[in-house]
């Protein structure tokens, strides 16, 4: 939940670890991740809408992301809820999008629907791959864990970089 509003580490890492440990429960973990991120998105939206100056602005400044925030504002003007759909499925840091959606007054029902669709698609795709891969995938992940960690880190950094473009 906290990742969608303030925390910098994506929930995919925990989903990966849990689903590899119990592949038969991967869909349950994906559902929990989707529910948690949806609640977190609502919190981020509320931060943006009601607490922008006191809470959101310090978070954005902490991440040194004010230019990114202004860039995202223009995206919301141009694309609206499509931004939430793309960001929810991509490595773009979702907390920036949730806070921005509230700050820019994006309609809440479409925002939540887009969150559930995009984040749910992402987590259930990951869970499907992990359930299907099971022990074979576990061995591969164990063999290449360092490289996977680097790849995930690059995706997170790349997500931030996309916001600066």
DSSP for 56-93, written as a single string: IHHHHHHTT-HHHHHHHHHHHHHHTHHHHHHHHHSSS-
Kindly state the average pLDDT of the residues 33-55: 91
d(CA 90, CA 97): 12
Rounded Cα–Cα distance for residues 42 and 102 (Å): 9
Q: Which residue has the higher pLDDT, 112 or 75?
A: 112
pLDDT digit string (tens) for 55-65? 778 877 888 87
Spell out the residues 6+ positions from residue 29 whose beta carbon is closer than 8 angstroms to its own.
15, 18, 19, 123, 127
pTM summary value = 0.74
Residue in the structure block whose two tokens are 């806070």: 99
Task: Classify the phi-psi angles of 107: left when phi > 0, otherwise alpha if psi is within -120 to 50, otherwise beta.
Answer: beta
Specify the pLDDT at position 55. 79
Round to whole Å and give the CA distance between 83 and 80.
6
């Amino acid at each position: 939940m906290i990742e969608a509003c303030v925390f910098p580490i994506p929930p995919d890492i925990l989903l990966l670890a849990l689903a590899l440990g119990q592949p038969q429960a991967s869909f349950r973990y994906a559902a929990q991740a989707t529910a948690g991120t949806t609640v977190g998105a609502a919190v981020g939206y509320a931060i943006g809408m009601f607490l922008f100056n006191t809470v959101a602005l310090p978070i954005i400044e902490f991440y040194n992301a004010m230019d990114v925030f202004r860039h995202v504002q223009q995206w919301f003007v141009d694309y609206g809820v499509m931004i939430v759909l793309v960001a929810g499925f991509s490595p773009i840091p979702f907390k920036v999008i949730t806070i921005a959606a509230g700050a820019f007054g994006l309609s809440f029902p479409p925002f939540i629907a887009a969150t559930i669709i995009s984040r749910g698609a992402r987590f259930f795709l990951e869970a499907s791959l992990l359930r299907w891969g099971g022990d074979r995938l576990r061995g591969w992940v164990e063999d290449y864990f360092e490289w996977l960690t680097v790849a995930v880190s690059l995706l997170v950094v790349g997500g931030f970089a996309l916001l600066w473009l």
